[in-house]
A and B are shown apart, each in its own frame.
Chain A
Amino acid sequence: MNSVQSNSSVTNKLSPEEERAPAAVLKGSVFTLPILKLSRCDLREIEIDLTQSLSAALDFFNHAPLVIDLALTQELDEAMDFIGLQALLHKHQLVPVGVQNGTPDQIAAARKAGFAVLTGQTIDKIIENTAQKSHAKESPKSTRQQRENERSQAVDDDHAGSTQVIHQPIRSGQRVYARGGDLILLAAVNAGAEVIADGNIHIYAPLRGRALAGVTGDMDARIFCQCMDAELVAIAGTYRFFEDDIPDEINHKSVQIYLTGDQLNIRPLE
């Protein structure tokens, strides 16, 4: 399964005299689509395997929109017949909407056949992107604004929805907020400091301050830290604070913190 996300949200702007309820409005939304992974280009072989998979799934894929993943066909010598593929999928009551992970040649051919091209991301790519982003932030040539965002007292990620990686310690009085995503810290969160994320928080160093995950209500968010010495931890608003009373089994241990119902669990990571 793959998430296809569109961030565009464009409405038609009309001058006041011609103002009326718009007949068409573009909005962004998130869908989960099934992926058809192809490893060969021979349509006959594809049909045999596809028929088998579909018979197992009964009516589940009836008229389902589908994304075709070409990652495994990139190295092949033969070219994919996208028009033939489209006909084959239609025959089986599937609606192919786009392709992802194709070579430039494959993408051109797919476009010609009327497929959308999705910028599908494998896990590897996401990690790579995150690494590049944090590298860009570290480089001395990054803009003044970027540095300020990164270093200011209330650090706020302007790239909403992506993972934020912090390399410097978060010190007393400082606050970091990863809006719409996860927060990864590679240095200590000191007493009097606050780290906040809409998603999960990972701290590969001591947590001596406060950590609040899932602050916009994500009950599945978790906090992981390498050395539990926190003043306060919270997940989706359920919090617990400590005054020199961290239980021995988690004190200075690697722990994960998560919610079950309204119960906040802090468990050692062994």
Chain B
Amino acid sequence: MAKVIVVTSGKGGVGKTTTSASVATGLAKRGYKTVVIDFDVGLRNLDLIMGCERRVVYDFVNVIHGEATLKQALIRDKRLANLDILPASQTRDKDALFKDGVEKVLNELRKTHDFIVCDSPAGIETGAVMALYFADEAIVVTNPEVSSVRDSDRILGILSAKSKRALDGDDPIKEHLLITRYDPNRVQTGEMLSIDDIMELLGIPLAGVIPESQSVLTASNSGIPVIHDEVSVSGLAYQDLVERLLGEEVPIRFITPVKKGLFKRLFGT
């Protein structure tokens, strides 16, 4: 039974696309046939982070409007044979998405794939609602700061009010909290909210903590999802997240402050 996972946050720039790319890659690496869909019509980024932007011919909007088949639009990942990317259109706006069309595409993908990862745009308008509407599970991405937590709270309210599962009265969407850009040292000095603070405010189970790391930016710029980087703490933390999504018990790592030596204090990390 295929699962639809939405990666959402309300706020922009918190790491939704990075997370979508790494979660989809991680699931595919574990042997599941996976597709990741970019719902950010007009501001597509997922293809850049997946490193396939030059191979985009047809996109999600073309498929919805019957201008291309799903087979034509799906892009096979260059590293993993069981990972597909369905890119967004750069030239349309978010109103090009509509429920029946999205549902038709998702139903077709459910037949062929184990996991469908939906990369939501920021905000709470059409695009974001379309991305979460058909979800079975949701990864709510939050930075350790007040405005990001507030927007996540807002999106959790929408998940429980406007999603298909809520409206049909089915079991609610399974919610996972993912804290990204977490810097234990800045939490210790009180500059950032702690994991406990965020969990108390949002009241949903914690699925992962991705530490702040230069390797995320490097990976994005080179079009390789950071989960492929098995040396960086962020890559390892994303691997842990994927294992937890698959129901395994994995302790949270990289959340205690690191004492900087004199050398590091002088020259940075």
**Chain A contact residues, CB within 8 Å of chain B:** 140-144, 146-148, 151-153, 168-174, 187-188, 190-193, 208
Q: Tell me, in angstroms, the Cα distance from A270 to B39 when the chains sit together.
A: 52
Query: What bracket does the count of chain B residues touching chain A fall in?
Result: 10 to 19
Across the interface, do B154 and A192 meet the contact criterion of CB distance under 8 Å? yes
Give the contacting residue for A151; candidates B156, B161, B170, B201; CB below 8 A.
B161
Q: Tell me, in angstroms, the Cα distance from A143 to B124 when the chains sit together.
A: 26
Query: What is the predominant secondary structure among interface residues of chain B facing chain A?
Result: helix
Known contacts A151-B160, A152-B161, A168-B160; A192/B153 CB under 8 A: yes
Q: Does B166 contact A (CB under 8 A)?
A: yes
Q: Tell me, in angstroms, the Cα distance from A178 to B154 when the chains sit together.
A: 21
Against A, the Cβ 8 Å flags (1 = close, 0 = not) of B147-184 are 00011011011101100001111110000000000000
Q: Which residues of B contact A193 (CB under 8 A)?
A: 157
Q: Tell me, in angstroms, the Cα distance from A147 to B171 when the chains sit together.
A: 12
Q: Tell me, in angstroms, the Cα distance from A173 to B158 when the chains sit together.
A: 9
Nearest residue (CB) in A for B159 is A171
Q: Tell me, in angstroms, the Cα distance from A170 to B166 when the chains sit together.
A: 15
Q: Does B203 contact A (CB under 8 A)?
A: yes
Known contacts A151-B160, A153-B161, A187-B203; A140/B153 CB under 8 A: no
CB distance from B9 to the nearest CB of A (A): 13
Known contacts A140-B170, A142-B169, A144-B168; A188/B203 CB under 8 A: yes
CB distance from A99 to the nearest CB of B (A): 41
Nearest residue (CB) in A for B201 is A190
CB distance from A80 to the nearest CB of B (A): 47
Nearest residue (CB) in B for A155 is B161
Most A CB atoms within 10 A — which of B161, B168, B203? Answer: B161
Across the interface, do B154 and A144 meet the contact criterion of CB distance under 8 Å? no
Q: Tell me, in angstroms, the Cα distance from A191 to B166 when the chains sit together.
A: 22
CB distance from A263 to the nearest CB of B (A): 32
Q: Which residues of B contact A141 (CB under 8 A)?
A: 169
Across the interface, do B167 and A147 meet the contact criterion of CB distance under 8 Å? yes
CB distance from A247 to the nearest CB of B (A): 22
CB distance from B168 to the nearest CB of A (A): 7
Q: Tell me, in angstroms, the Cα distance from A143 to B167 when the chains sit together.
A: 10
Across the interface, do B150 and A172 meet the contact criterion of CB distance under 8 Å? yes
Across the interface, do A173 and B203 meet the contact criterion of CB distance under 8 Å? no
Q: Tell me, in angstroms, the Cα distance from A127 to B94 when the chains sit together.
A: 48
Across the interface, do B203 and A143 meet the contact criterion of CB distance under 8 Å? no
Known contacts A151-B160, A172-B157, A174-B157; A192/B167 CB under 8 A: no
Across the interface, do A144 and B153 meet the contact criterion of CB distance under 8 Å? no
Q: Tell me, in angstroms, the Cα distance from A143 to B156 when the chains sit together.
A: 22
Give the contacting residue for B156; candidates A147, A153, A171; CB below 8 A.
A171
Q: Tell me, in angstroms, the Cα distance from A152 to B158 when the chains sit together.
A: 9
Nearest residue (CB) in A for B203 is A169
